[in-house]
């Protein structure tokens, strides 16, 4: 186990080339093992995958559950300079780190990301308050079953959905299930966080990737970030859900590799 501060970090191909490392931050309820297929498809790239607090092998500390504390913990676990890939909740954390510490983040890859998970009068790209409340209640009642159902919701309608679900659930089973309290605390964050005012001030080059069939983070939310950032490109993978780097790894790598090369993060 390699701990950097309070977080577990898995580093691969360290020093394999002079390229910038790629750092990866997962989404709600998952852990760093969900990136295994993507990292295997980028064998020449140094990568640092991070378990969020209370996920995988990172311990849970309820006194450090707020968004700022989680951002600080992930930022401290990053290489001195990197390309930062964030997925879902990890995308929100990546956006905030890029805003606060541009010297550390050379570029961003945001996957099925949104500045705001909850719907509002001026934001149609999310879950409504009733859906969030019902989902939170299900997590409280039976978090294991709810997490399994959530994985299927993310993948339903995607090509090879059943096989992809198995790979995601294998990552949870082999690397560590999330702490139940972490699930609830992060859901509270997702229900209240709104990063829209901050997004236009993030100046790093960014690649935004959405899944056409994403029912959790609608493509419109990811497209909104791409349009609000001053230097961004948007791409959408056909028949993919939010975990496109698992279900459509080849297509995903075809999009990401040229971007990494351009940013000096791939040989």
| pLDDT for position 155 | 63
Q: Is the pLDDT of residue 208 over 90?
A: yes
The model's confidence at residue 1, banded by pLDDT at 50, 70 and 90, is: low
Write down the pTM of the prediction: 0.93
Distance between CA 121 and CA 68 in Å, rounded?
A: 26
The model's confidence at residue 133, banded by pLDDT at 50, 70 and 90, is: confident
Q: 85-94, 133-142, 179-188, 235-244: which range is least confident on average?
A: 133-142
The first and second tokens of residue 100, run together, are: 């606060």
Tens digits of per-residue pLDDT, 171-195? 777 888 899 899 989 988 888 999 9
Orientation angle between helical segments 89-100 and 67-77, nearest 10 degrees: 70
Q: Is the pLDDT of residue 258 over 90?
A: yes
The first and second tokens of residue 92, run together, are: 């929100």
| pLDDT for position 147 | 73
Tens digits of per-residue pLDDT, 17-65? 778 999 999 998 889 999 999 999 999 899 999 999 999 999 999 999 9
Helix (H, G, I), strand (E, B) or coil at 131: helix
**Among 219, 253, 259, which residue's Cα sits nearest to residue 236?**
219
The model's confidence at residue 159, banded by pLDDT at 50, 70 and 90, is: low
Percent of all residues in the chain with a pLDDT value above 90, rounded to a whole number: 64
| pLDDT for position 50 | 98
Every domain of the chain and the residues it spans: 3-262
Structural domain 3-262, CATH architecture = 3-Layer(aba) Sandwich (3.40)
Distance between CA 232 and CA 143 in Å, rounded?
A: 36
């Amino acid at each position: 186990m390699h701990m950097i501060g309070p977080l577990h970090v898995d580093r691969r191909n360290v020093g394999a080339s002079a390229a910038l490392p790629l750092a990866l931050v997962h989404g709600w309820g998952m852990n760093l093992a969900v990136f295994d297929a993507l990292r295997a498809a980028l064998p020449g790239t140094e990568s640092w995958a991070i378990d969020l607090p209370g996920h995988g092998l990172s311990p849970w500390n309820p006194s450090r559950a707020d968004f700022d504390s989680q951002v600080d913990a992930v930022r401290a676990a990053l290489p001195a300079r990197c390309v930062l890939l964030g997925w879902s909740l990890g995308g929100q954390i990546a956006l905030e780190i890029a805003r606060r510490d541009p010297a550390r983040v050379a570029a961003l890859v945001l996957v099925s990301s949104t500045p705001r998970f909850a719907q509002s009068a001026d934001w149609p790209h999310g879950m409504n308050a009733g859906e969030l409340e019902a989902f939170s209640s299900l997590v409280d009642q039976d978090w294991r079953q709810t997490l399994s159902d959530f994985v299927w919701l993310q993948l339903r309608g995607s090509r090879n959905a059943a096989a992809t679900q198995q790979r995601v659930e294998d990552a949870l089973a082999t690397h560590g299930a999330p702490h139940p309290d972490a699930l609830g605390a992060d859901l509270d964050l997702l229900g209240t966080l709104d990063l829209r005012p901050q997004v236009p001030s993030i100046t790093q080059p960014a690649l935004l990737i959405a899944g056409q069939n994403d029912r959790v983070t609608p493509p419109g939310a990811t497209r909104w970030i791409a349009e609000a950032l001053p230097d961004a490109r948007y791409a959408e993978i056909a028949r993919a859900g939010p975990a496109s780097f698992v279900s459509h790894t080849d297509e995903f790598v075809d999009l990401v590799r040229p971007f990494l090369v351009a940013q000096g993060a791939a040989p």
